[in-house]
Structure 1
């Protein structure tokens, strides 16, 4: 990847000017190299899954454009903020930052600079990172994570400004839609909740309690059943287990309502997700579903997580065929321009975000072991 002259200047300033506290503990410290190795082993990751993450990052780095951003290679090519946000999240998830002397420091710095350029200034509401609500939520999450991992004060105002736009754009029913203030759906809401949840991990960001409360009210409205273990698009009708919407709803419950493994609604919801547990086949996965569902089942732990991650027990007591080995198998290993990437999936991600979006989500899924800490 080559960055233009102006971009190179911005990156150099960002890298040189960032002075994060060296010993400050952070909520995402589990991504740091030493801590990551321990968490990986404890949670069921392997050397093979980490190699797959690294191969994916190598490919993603090669796709970066001269202006520091990324671009989808399918229908949503104009959504540069979403493409950049997803790619950056993959690097950040592996502990790569723009302030640490790491392998992809310049890559991350250029991506962060691209988002900062698009961000509202001064911490106000201003304009969104993108007119697309999905893209704005994804870009906001990336900015917030970059700040949480570095405490780079230069990112505080842009990240809070982007968060302010999320907060101001919430509809009266607690959802987020395609335009600010318009009633929306569970899928769009999922990305806003992820960004707001990340912000709530630090006292440096402001997220009103009223925003969280309204979100819970929306989730109650689109949740089906006594336990609210299944979720629909914009209403509870049609809510079913083992769908992307249910996985998103459950992750939102975990992030905002603190639903953990011992919560009846979460336990029932995970049972539903297990009906679509990964199976080691040659098929291309629904990466959107598995990105969300893997995070949810990770909260359950125990046999359900082992089955999801490693596969069901065989006659010999061993496990094989789970999400981890399935994704490792699907990654392209052959030498060539696509080595380390994942073929576009047949769903919305593949059609709209192509190889870049599919690869970023697959890498993020393989980082689930250490990307976010589980509640203690």
Structure 2
């Protein structure tokens, strides 16, 4: 059986064996029927010849060549053609005047500007309404309604002191003015926290074995509460913790208690605890010096200022060079976040209140003591803010401008005035402290360790009979309030304290310890002849 004939592409009697002449490469030939048509002009004749030549082409030649072409070559040509086509499509999409929006996941890059750490708006405390109502107000402090005998300020015969103590508490030349714009911090501000000087100060200012035993028990309790990471918590693991968490504040407060009794990260019975704590604390600091990012909005600046004090005091006590940049950054943040009014509050550079301002001022004074850079203008502005919340010679100090004064804020304001340069014989200083001691003494029936903390420091610096009367209650009543048995042995219960239900057991314990360490925690600001010490 003969093979089937291939279909012939020839028409009009044109033999298939004739090879057609080469055609124009870029011309498209029309598909017209093969017919002998009479054309009127030579142009149409040439067109007809082209069509006829095309029909003479032997397409079997192409078919044979395709059959003998390697498959890989055909595949490569097809794929290259497809890729070229896609490439032209992509180029076409990116050309022209059209705008293309490219989306990608961004990466956060921290900035050194303070605005990066703007603190969110104040959120209400997670407390039952009843708890807030019981503690949110403090008794008004009205000097005009008080009937207080004004004793004359006189010197007190103190126990004999050693040459070391006499050298540190040396008299300066009295100033003719009752105020000094800025008191320069003394390099020996924390010198009494350990060694023989600690024992001398304890004796000189009325500390006892009972007060020291209470401090030892309290520090042992704090040690047991340290978390594996080196920090402390406001909520636990102890009982009756705070309603809200603030690890930065908790860690700073615990550090200050250990340091107040003489321990640092390089020496002392709690050296290891302080070392772990400071390593945790500096890890919280960003490039602006801020350390309280995870605290609640209304607690951030409290925590920041307390952490600032801890770093500055630790650097002042040890001069450990690696601490300096962290402490300096905290001081720089204080300067950058000061409000136009001259103080600090919940948000940087916004408004001011006496409570937060007191903490920041203590941090700056600790920075001065450590030899850090502290702008004197920052301290001058603090004094101007205190002028707006204080009533001069006749009134105490208020929480904010326009509010009535209170005992706690008066104690804060007077302590700030002492560190800013008021001399001991300033009339407003004497009147304010005498009124506090006579009308708002330490009362175990109404504990308020926050008020006691500020009043105790101010009374201690002032000295004289006023301090003796205040300390007579402090050294007896405060140790008696300490838990002496059980799992919380060494701590102070928060339930009855004015702010204890907010702060929790760690808060009341730390502030009680600050009060009982007052005899040696800071060197006194004044001597006993109504002049400045430093």
Normalized per residue, the structure richer in helix is: 1
Q: Measure how far apart 1:47 and its partner are.
A: 1.0
Which residue of structure 1 lines up, in the alignment, with residue 119 of structure 2?
none
Confirm whether residue 72 of structure 1 aligns to residue 234 of structure 2.
yes
> How has the CA–CA distance of structure 1 residues 328 and 183 changed in structure 2, closer, same or farther, with 3 Å as cutoff?
same
**1:99–1:330 Cα change, 3 Å:** same
User: Which of 277, 280, 288 is 2:450 aligned to?
Assistant: 288
CA contact (8 A) 1:31 1:95 kept: yes
User: Is this contact kept in 1: 2:242–2:505, CA < 8 A?
Assistant: no
In the alignment, is the contact (CA less than 8 A) between 1:229 and 1:250 conserved in 2? no
1:202 aligns to 2:370 (yes or no): yes
Per the alignment, residue 465 of structure 2 pairs with 303
Distance 2:498 2:246 in 1: 14
Using a 3 Å threshold, how does the CA distance of structure 1 residues 324 and 126 change in structure 2: closer, same or farther? closer
Equivalences for residues 1-376 of structure 1 within 5 A: 26-73=188-235, 74-75=241-242, 77-100=244-267, 102-121=268-287, 125-130=288-293, 132-203=300-371, 205-224=372-391, 226-227=392-393, 230-240=396-406, 243-256=407-420, 258-274=421-437, 275-279=439-443, 281=444, 283=445, 285-310=447-472, 322-334=473-485, 336-347=486-497, 349-375=499-525, 376=533
C-alpha distance in 2 between matches for 1:298 and 1:345:
28
Q: Secondary structure at the match of 1:164?
A: helix
The unaligned stretches of length 5 or more in structure 2 are: 1-186, 236-240, 526-532
- Distance in 2 (CA, whole Å) between partners of 1:361 and 1:113 is 23
Q: Are the aligned partners of 2:354 and 2:400 in contact in 1 as well (CA < 8 Å)? A: yes
Q: Structure 1 residues 176 and 77 mapped into 2: Cα distance closer, same or farther (>3 Å)?
A: same
Distance 2:289 2:504 in 1: 31
Alpha-carbon distance change, 347 to 169 in structure 1, aligned in 2, over 3 angstroms: farther
The two structures have a TM-score, normalised by structure 2, of 0.60
Q: How many residues align?
A: 329
CA 1:52–1:127 in structure 2 vs 1: closer, same or farther (change >3 Å)? closer
**Further displaced range: 149-158 or 344-353:** 344-353
Distance 2:495 2:312 in 1: 28
Matches of 1:129 and 1:175, distance apart in 2: 18
Q: Can you give the 5+ residue segments of structure 1 that lack an aligned partner in the other structure?
A: 1-24, 311-321
Quickly say closer, same or farther: Cα 1:126–1:60, change in 2 above 3 A: closer
CA RMSD of superposed structures (Å): 1.6
How far has the Cα of 1:227 moved from its partner?
Answer: 2.1
C-alpha separation between the residues in 2 aligned to 1:237 and 1:293? 20
Judge conservation of contact 1:285–1:345 (CA < 8 Å) in 2. no
Once the two structures are TM-superposed, the CA of residue 236 in structure 1 deviates from its matched residue by 4.9
- Contact preservation (8 Å) 1:345, 1:358: no
Once the two structures are superposed, residues 80-127 of structure 1 have per-residue CA deviations (whole angstroms, 9 ceiling, x without a partner) of 010111111000000001111x21110111111111111235xxx254
Q: C-alpha distance in 2, partners of 1:76/1:255?
A: 33
Residues 332/99 of structure 1: CA separation in 2 closer, same or farther (3 Å cut):
same
Residues 260-280 of structure 1: per-residue CA shift (max 9 Å, x gap):
43221211110121111114x
Q: Tell me, in whole angstroms, the C-alpha distance in 2 between the residues paired with 1:76 and 1:207.
A: 35
Q: 1:220·1:228 contact (CA, 8 Å) conserved in 2?
A: no
Contact 2:315-2:370 within 8 A present in 1 as well: no
Which residue in 1 is equivalent to 2:149?
none
1:138 alignment partner, SS class: helix
Q: Distance in 1 between matches of 2:366 and 2:260?
A: 13
- Per-residue deviation, 1:184: 1.9
Tell whether the 8 Å contact from 1:45 to 1:369 is kept in structure 2 after alignment: yes
Structure ID, larger Rg: 2
Counterpart-to-counterpart distance in 1, 2:495 and 2:395: 27
TM-score, length-scaled by structure 1: 0.84
User: What is the alpha-carbon distance in structure 2 between the residues aligned to residue 116 and residue 245 of structure 1?
Assistant: 31
